[in-house]
Amino acid sequence: MSVFPVAELSSPAAARQVARELLPRLAARSQQHDATGEFPAADFADLREHGLLGLMVPEELGGSGASFADYAAVAVELGSGAGSTALIFNMHASVTGALAHTSDELLRELGATDAFLAERDRLLGAAAAGALYGVAMSERGSGSRLSRTTTTYRRVDGGYRIRGSKAFVSGAGHADAYLVTAKDGDAAEPTVSYFLVPAGDGVLVEPTWDAMGMRATGSHDVHFDVRVGPEALLGGIEGLALLVAQVMPQWLVASYAAVYVGVARSALRNGAAHLCERGLHGLPTVRSRMGRADAAVAAAESVVREAARRVTEQPGEPETNRWVWRAKLVAGDTAAQVASSVLEAAGAAATRRGHPLERIYRDARCGALQPATSDVCADWLGVAALGGDPDHDTDSPRW
Amino acid sequence: MSVFPVAELSSPAAARQVARELLPRLAARSQQHDATGEFPAADFADLREHGLLGLMVPEELGGSGASFADYAAVAVELGSGAGSTALIFNMHASVTGALAHTSDELLRELGATDAFLAERDRLLGAAAAGALYGVAMSERGSGSRLSRTTTTYRRVDGGYRIRGSKAFVSGAGHADAYLVTAKDGDAAEPTVSYFLVPAGDGVLVEPTWDAMGMRATGSHDVHFDVRVGPEALLGGIEGLALLVAQVMPQWLVASYAAVYVGVARSALRNGAAHLCERGLHGLPTVRSRMGRADAAVAAAESVVREAARRVTEQPGEPETNRWVWRAKLVAGDTAAQVASSVLEAAGAAATRRGHPLERIYRDARCGALQPATSDVCADWLGVAALGGDPDHDTDSPRW
Amino acid sequence: MSVFPVAELSSPAAARQVARELLPRLAARSQQHDATGEFPAADFADLREHGLLGLMVPEELGGSGASFADYAAVAVELGSGAGSTALIFNMHASVTGALAHTSDELLRELGATDAFLAERDRLLGAAAAGALYGVAMSERGSGSRLSRTTTTYRRVDGGYRIRGSKAFVSGAGHADAYLVTAKDGDAAEPTVSYFLVPAGDGVLVEPTWDAMGMRATGSHDVHFDVRVGPEALLGGIEGLALLVAQVMPQWLVASYAAVYVGVARSALRNGAAHLCERGLHGLPTVRSRMGRADAAVAAAESVVREAARRVTEQPGEPETNRWVWRAKLVAGDTAAQVASSVLEAAGAAATRRGHPLERIYRDARCGALQPATSDVCADWLGVAALGGDPDHDTDSPRW
Amino acid sequence: MSVFPVAELSSPAAARQVARELLPRLAARSQQHDATGEFPAADFADLREHGLLGLMVPEELGGSGASFADYAAVAVELGSGAGSTALIFNMHASVTGALAHTSDELLRELGATDAFLAERDRLLGAAAAGALYGVAMSERGSGSRLSRTTTTYRRVDGGYRIRGSKAFVSGAGHADAYLVTAKDGDAAEPTVSYFLVPAGDGVLVEPTWDAMGMRATGSHDVHFDVRVGPEALLGGIEGLALLVAQVMPQWLVASYAAVYVGVARSALRNGAAHLCERGLHGLPTVRSRMGRADAAVAAAESVVREAARRVTEQPGEPETNRWVWRAKLVAGDTAAQVASSVLEAAGAAATRRGHPLERIYRDARCGALQPATSDVCADWLGVAALGGDPDHDTDSPRW
């Protein structure tokens, strides 16, 4: 894996401050990245240089030792600068965060050996040193449903052979390794496991990503036909994927939420700038739209912050998980609505390509469509509100 | 003033707990109070008995010494039990809270003498002992606009003579004293001051309240033609009213918000009970409506909590005040929307009088209409979001 | 049946004009009827006197020979005057309209004899002479689902014995006869038939109606234990109920729609009057709310008119039926939204009981909850939009 | 002007049929035009060939003699095929329609001479023969506000000299002539007149158009510095522009509406196709979204049809004009909402570039932003609903 020079160890608070300071730089580059759809390399150089790739890594492994609440605060800032960059970062943070926040005790209970714990530490240390991880979980046709994974792994000499095609792999071609979900090709019962597969031979990026919004995520298809050593199986534990989805839904469900709160904030900021510049800030309808948008963003931000606080303080609790799903629903819907209303306040001139609000309008629409979609969140939350078990009371599996 | 036996001194945390425990009792009585429109006397007996009338009173004066954040937490619980009761309580808490949270230093700077500080302590002590205060601020025609107050005060031998008519006085006829806004009848410049006028001769309640929602608040008209001593002028300071509106907007703007978060919560709770009882909890549209309602209530609750936290930690800061206005807007709108959607999920049977959702639907509609209305909040917030000064950049005075 | 003096035969155009002229009289009485929940007897005296009970009756039987489009136009006017009155009228029009608009040919095909056709003519003639018909179709627990009807009929000497309890019977106690849905108590297969049961012995009205909105409809429970002659079976044909629901959905689905367009219109009219009187008509937010409400009502009105036109010109066509369901959905949702927004524009003063907007807000909420509810309509229309058969592609029977 | 072979004279009904038949061809090309932003030349070749450029031209001048209602029906079909093509067509139809539908009597009253009527006939005849007209009315900074027009005309030898820059000129570079609004550069009072300026020297297209939606309209900036003969002044009448805006608002306000109803329809059609193909049509949330979208489109379509009918039958009546503004508001808002909800039903896969729903989502957002914007429409309609004169009761001029 690549090793870059990184900033010295920094605290979570420092990381938040760094994210705030990087915001204008990310924002300045975001139009160009959107126009070309290219990977935001300069943004990631900044993140690396300032140690943000080690945000979730424990201090003893060279990182900032951040909590989920810290992550959310950082992601809001990054998303307010450049949505695509924040989304790629979100994937990396999900991998490193889930690795860092699963206790040794639990891993040992599930069967992890010392060798696997050492491998985990190596992966985290590499992140602190600048390695970037991607997530290769979704597949065409089945979306992010783990239970419908068609990528398989089989035991071979020296480890596993993993074969299958993934879609929506943010940062594809720029990650040093990918978290791949694959099912046991030999098992009768569906067993979906996590592998961390290094970039290189047998990992082929097909440049399919050309989407309406979040264009610079480079969320291409990636085809895997690769042999990996036994250490690539995360924790050395098979069947971890569904468990993580239910026990740590924050990383699959709500890590997006913070990004979209950031995107919604950028709609407010750019809208206010545009309207003041054009001398339209005194119009009653403009004030009304901006005021309601401001309140909606504040509400979304508060929900995300509350969810993040609970994940940090009471991870895995049923009530915590409800807040996680609420955060995803509110943030996704709010971003789309706020961007649309602010664009309407700004007027037709803001729909020209190259205008920040034009990009933000397209970026903001994506949140509700990413898993878990708003409609899926609403159903999950409805079951919970009606006293049911939302992870299991469902016609078709959630994951 | 009446003195009731009250519970021994209790902490804010204990007060929150008490409110949670009283919730079912308030809820059980709320239908009856709504039907008859009578003052919820039994509820207030409970609040008195458990010391909640002293919630905002400093500990050294016999109260709980609660912060605004404590108030908000209590008000959410009360509002989830009985909206009307919570609204009357809100008025009382506003009077006692504003009195308790204005520092001696500030009061002295503004001209308060020791005698007035002693009078303030007397008023707070009486509240801790069970006295109930009402607010007589709105007038027919001018609403809650302080600048349009027509009630006057004039200097007379031994104090002031106050004359004028007030509307929407929650708890009218049951309060021991009323906070009355009046303008100086002799001044050229509009000077609006606060008086605390004891119930009794010269204070006439005209039973005009018969409204769609929040029916048990007894928010009747009250006519004043009364002489009061010099100590009735709050702080001994004239012209305090507008100042308070801008410096402590939480009490005029956002204290309602917590009540309506409670009302919204009660819609969720009663909706879930109705739907489960009827066996309708499995319908996809029901789940979707309940899930979205749940998330919306969580968002409103988070905003109110964040606003309350900031009021407590950084009172009077511009950013704090923005959160105050956001809380009012989001809570008022959310209550109405959630109650309407949950009613639709529950179906026509829930529109029968006597069904909790029928009452809640009517109660919930009132929040956005109470000052500052949602439209006024949106305008205020819009000016702020556009970089203006929302208290002054306006075509007509906010208050 | 009662016979009242009625106006001479009038054309549909004249009937529309009459409805327009009656509007202010209905409106003037509506507050009183709402307050007491009493049957709007004076309104129905007016309708009788002006021949509107014979609106749907063919000219040769003494009526106006109105089309569904005529009905819709009349119902909008009546609903704009008094929602409850229009709803009761709607039930009467549904009975007479369905009777009048089913061709002799079709009835004969289905097995109707001359005697039954004569009986139908007698019923229609009586309506033209002032008889009022109600509909007793819904039941507690099963709502308006025909397939879940528990009221039964059994063959007895001299006809049928009908036993069961109905709910939501608008105009209960004031109708001369009721259209009752009942299932064959002896058949293995569910067969739901229509009977026209005269008021009198064996028909017991239980005064259960005390609802949030549409309070003057007197939609009480009615208990039937009655013997009727063979002529009471409509058309002499068993199993007609489901057929009618699918072939003439306008009378079960969209006849409500016109009423709620009227209610929405009354919100606009009363809102404008209130706002102008209070001098609030110049406020930008007021103008914006009223403008959007105006456009929404126009849209709902246009959909209802288009549906009514198609029912009149191409009854029973699949495309016609889609418009019928669209009309119900749009009218029900629009009425609730418009009444809510106009109330918010009008402010807290308009929530006092006795203010027209207070009543209208409650009335307007009911449309989306009456069968077919908005959620059911959305599902039906979604199946159709996706190329399915909405009457049959459903998890549970529509009726 | 160019003359193309055109179809023989066709009736309005035939034109509607032609538009329906062209829909699939336009739809098939629309992705390519959107991707490149190029003028839809093949579409206009089709429109020319089938005589649609003569749609509004009287039969005696070689056209179809269509009414506004006919125009609306045609525009819905074209918009359902390709929004951009329909918008360019809309501009052409506005010019030809306004020319064709202003009576000789009125023109003579306003001062038109025979020579000008002959010139008008020549222009209309050319359209029937295939000439395409554009509209150059908006300017950067002032939008479509006629009163703020900065383009000037001055009397010179042999006619007028017109100087100024226009923005948002749909079809720029492909029109044979442009309808230009210009103010009298010598008059003290603002006098805004219409000129028809042929393409050619002195008319410079600056390719600035690169927008989020409606990309193939080529709505570039056009710079005018050109001398025209006296016949270029439309009707030979100065100051016509504001008059037309108020008397024939349909062409400035609601001709867009039909286009966006078409766009909304295409969202439904493409959404249904996508969902059925993916096997997602059975999901309850999908059905609900599609059903509500279907009803909303029906409502918008009905309002536009009603407005068009009234324009045709009672042009210029105050009530007609209200329907015109309603149509613009409802169609613009509906298109955006429907496209957004259908996209959400379809899921992330539909946000890939090249997917019809991705384009439609961007196209659909533009309607509410085009003049008169939804916020302006709401204000206009609000004033009317409150009994005011919406063309004059306004803080700033509507046009």
Classified as helix, coil or strand, D201 is: coil
Ranges assigned E (strand) in B127-240: 133-136, 152-156, 159-169, 177-184, 192-198, 203-206, 220-228
Q: Which of A66-70, A191-195, C7-11, D130-134 shows the lowest mean pLDDT across its residues? A: C7-11
- C335: distance to nearest CA of chain D, Å? 14
Which helix H or strand E contains D296, and what residues bound it?
helix D284-313
Residue A100, both tokens: 């860092």
Question: Which of A217, A344, A352, A383 has the highest number of chain D CBs within 10 A, making it the mutation to test binding with D?
Answer: A344
- Classify burial at C17, counting beta carbons within 10 Å of its beta carbon; exposed 0-12, middle 13-18, buried 19 or more: middle
Query: Between the CA of residue C206 and those of B276, C39, C167, C195, C203, what are the distances in Å?
Result: 27, 14, 9, 20, 10
B288 touching chain A per CB within 8 A? yes
Q: What architecture is the C12-132 domain classified under in CATH?
A: Orthogonal Bundle (1.10)
pLDDT over threshold 80, residue C190 = yes
Residue C14, both tokens: 């004249």
DSSP state of A252: I
Contact between C160 and C202 (Cβ < 8 Å): no
Which helix H or strand E contains C87, and what residues bound it?
helix C83-101
pLDDT over threshold 80, residue C342 = yes
- A228: distance to nearest CA of chain D, Å? 31
Contact between D172 and D157 (Cβ < 8 Å): no
Q: Which residues of A touch B379 (CB under 8 A)?
A: 284, 287-288, 291
Nearest CA in chain D to C291: D382
CATH no. of D248-385 = 1.20.140.10
Question: Which of C341, C352, C365 has the highest number of chain B CBs within 10 A, making it the mutation to test binding with B?
Answer: C365
pLDDT at residue B1, rounded to an integer: 37
Residue among B143, B361, B368 whose CB faces C344 most closely: B368
Which helix H or strand E contains A138, and what residues bound it?
none
Query: Between the CA of residue C295 and those of B186, C61, C288, C290, D307, what are the distances in Å?
Result: 50, 40, 11, 9, 12
- Cβ distance D286 to C380 less than 8 Å, yes or no, reads no
Q: Which residues of A touch D213 (CB under 8 A)?
A: 351
Classified as helix, coil or strand, C223 is: strand
A72 touching chain B per CB within 8 A? no
Burial D296-317 (b: 16+ CB within 10 A, else e): bbbbbbbbbbbbbbbbbeebee
The arithmetic mean of pLDDT across residues A159-168, rounded, is 96
Bigger pLDDT: B353 vs D242: B353
Q: Which residues of C touch B143 (CB under 8 A)?
A: 347-348
CA atoms within 13 A on the CB side of B131: 21
Q: Which residues of D touch B378 (CB under 8 A)?
A: none
Classified as helix, coil or strand, A354 is: coil
- B284: distance to nearest CA of chain D, Å? 6
Residue A251, both tokens: 């990383």
Structure ipTM: 0.94
- C273: distance to nearest CA of chain D, Å? 8
The arithmetic mean of pLDDT across residues B292-297, rounded, is 98
- Cβ distance B381 to A292 less than 8 Å, yes or no, reads yes
Rounded to a whole number of angstroms, the distance between the first and last alpha carbons of chain C is 31
User: Domain C135-238, what fold?
Assistant: Butyryl-CoA Dehydrogenase, subunit A; domain 2 (2.40.110)
pLDDT tens, D292-323? 999 999 999 999 999 999 999 999 999 999 99
B326 touching chain A per CB within 8 A? yes
Residue among B290, B302, B385 whose CB faces A291 most closely: B385
CA distance linking residue C69 with residue C306, whole number of Å: 9
Question: Which of C137, C292, C341, C369 has the highest number of chain B CBs within 10 A, making it the mutation to test binding with B?
Answer: C369
**Chains touching B, CB cut-off 8 Å, 3+ pairs:** A, C, D
DSSP state of C55: T
pLDDT over threshold 80, residue C340 = yes
Q: Which residues of D touch C289 (CB under 8 A)?
A: 382
Contact between A341 and A289 (Cβ < 8 Å): yes
Q: Which residues of A touch B272 (CB under 8 A)?
A: 385-387
- Cβ distance C210 to B353 less than 8 Å, yes or no, reads yes
Classified as helix, coil or strand, A291 is: helix
- C191: distance to nearest CA of chain B, Å? 26
The arithmetic mean of pLDDT across residues D219-229, rounded, is 97
| Type of residue numbered B38 | E
Quick check: bond before A73 cis, omega within 30? Answer: no
B296 touching chain A per CB within 8 A? yes
Q: Which residues of B touch D284 (CB under 8 A)?
A: 284-285, 288
Torsion of CA D289, D294, D300, D302, to 10 degrees: -150
User: What is the DSSP pairing of strand A177-184 with strand A133-136?
Assistant: parallel
B288 touching chain D per CB within 8 A? yes
D358 touching chain A per CB within 8 A? yes
Nearest CA in chain B to D289: B285
Residue B94, C-beta contacts closer than 8 angstroms, at least 6 positions apart? B135, B179, B251, B252, B255
Contact between D81 and D22 (Cβ < 8 Å): yes
Contact between B363 and B292 (Cβ < 8 Å): no
pLDDT over threshold 70, residue A269 = yes
pLDDT tens, D107-158? 898 888 899 899 999 999 999 999 999 999 999 877 778 888 999 999 999 9
- Cβ distance B268 to A383 less than 8 Å, yes or no, reads no
Residue B303, both tokens: 């905003």
C143 touching chain B per CB within 8 A? yes
- Cβ distance A344 to D373 less than 8 Å, yes or no, reads yes
pLDDT tens, B12-39? 999 999 999 999 999 999 999 999 999 9
Q: Which residues of A touch B288 (CB under 8 A)?
A: 375, 378-379, 382
Residue A343, both tokens: 């664009």
pLDDT at residue B296, rounded to an integer: 98
Mean confidence (pLDDT) of chain C: 93
Q: Which residues of A touch B335 (CB under 8 A)?
A: none
Handedness of CA C192, C197, C199, C202 (dihedral sign): negative
Classified as helix, coil or strand, D271 is: helix
Q: Which of A9-23, A119-133, B227-241 has the highest mean pLDDT?
A: A119-133
CA distance linking residue C316 with residue A372, whole number of Å: 42
| Type of residue numbered A13 | A
Q: Which residues of A touch D212 (CB under 8 A)?
A: 351-353, 358, 361-362
Q: What architecture is the A135-239 domain classified under in CATH?
A: Beta Barrel (2.40)
CA distance linking residue A98 with residue B223, whole number of Å: 65
pLDDT over threshold 70, residue B9 = no
- Cβ distance C306 to D303 less than 8 Å, yes or no, reads no
Instruction: Report which of D223, D51, C281, D285 is spatially closest to residue B285, judged by C-alpha positions.
Output: D285
CA distance linking residue C44 with residue B238, whole number of Å: 61
CA distance linking residue A276 with residue A270, whole number of Å: 10
pLDDT tens, A41-99? 999 999 999 999 999 999 999 999 999 999 999 999 999 999 999 999 999 999 999 99
- Report DSSP letters for B250-300, one per residue: IIIIIHHHHHHHHHHHHHHHHHHHHHHHTT-TT-HHHHHHHHHHHHHHHHH
D46 touching chain A per CB within 8 A? no
pLDDT tens, B320-354? 999 999 999 999 999 999 999 999 999 999 999 99
Residue B111, both tokens: 């001209």
pLDDT tens, B126-177? 999 999 999 999 998 777 788 889 999 999 999 999 999 999 999 999 999 9
The arithmetic mean of pLDDT across residues A346-365, rounded, is 97
CA distance linking residue C87 with residue C255, whole number of Å: 9
CA distance linking residue B7 with residue B130, whole number of Å: 10
pLDDT at residue D9, rounded to an integer: 52
DSSP state of A207: -
pLDDT tens, D196-205? 999 999 999 9
User: What is the DSSP pairing of strand A152-156 with strand A177-184?
Assistant: parallel
- Cβ distance C370 to B348 less than 8 Å, yes or no, reads yes
pLDDT over threshold 90, residue B3 = no
Q: Which of A237-241, B242-246, C205-209, C233-237 shows the lowest mean pLDDT across its residues? A: B242-246
- Report DSSP letters for B45-108, one per residue: HHHHHTTGGGTTS-GGGTS----HHHHHHHHHHHHHH-HHHHHHHHHHHHHHHHHHHS-HHHHH
pLDDT over threshold 60, residue C3 = no
Query: Between the CA of residue D171 and those of B283, C91, D44, what are the distances in Å?
Result: 51, 55, 11
In this prediction the pTM is: 0.96
CA distance linking residue D270 with residue D215, whole number of Å: 19
Contact between D296 and D290 (Cβ < 8 Å): no
The arithmetic mean of pLDDT across residues C154-176, rounded, is 96
pLDDT over threshold 90, residue A26 = yes
Bigger pLDDT: B396 vs B166: B166
Residue D29, C-beta contacts closer than 8 angstroms, at least 6 positions apart? D40, D42, D43, D82
CA distance linking residue B227 with residue B230, whole number of Å: 10
| Type of residue numbered C351 | T
- Classify burial at D377, counting beta carbons within 10 Å of its beta carbon; exposed 0-12, middle 13-18, buried 19 or more: buried
Boundaries of every domain in chain B: 12-132, 135-239, 248-385
pLDDT tens, D161-206? 999 999 999 999 999 999 999 999 998 888 999 999 999 999 999 9
Nearest CA in chain A to B276: A386
What is the separation of C-alpha C280 from the centre of its chain, rounded to a whole number of angstroms? 36
pLDDT at residue D4, rounded to an integer: 41
Q: Which residues of C touch A282 (CB under 8 A)?
A: none
Paired strand residues for A195: A180, A233
Contact between A53 and A117 (Cβ < 8 Å): no
Nearest CA in chain A to C288: A285
- Cβ distance C351 to B168 less than 8 Å, yes or no, reads no
Indicate if D248-385 has the same CATH topology as D12-132.
no
Handedness of CA D40, D45, D47, D48 (dihedral sign): positive
C284 touching chain A per CB within 8 A? yes
pLDDT at residue A1, rounded to an integer: 37
| Type of residue numbered C39 | F
- D52: distance to nearest CA of chain C, Å? 27
DSSP H helices in D102-247 = 104-110, 114-128, 240-247
Residue A248, both tokens: 């740590």
Residue C117, both tokens: 């056709």
CA distance linking residue B283 with residue B306, whole number of Å: 34
Residue among A345, A353, A369 whose CB faces D351 most closely: A369
Size of interface A-B (CB pairs under 8 A): 146
pLDDT at residue A347, rounded to an integer: 95
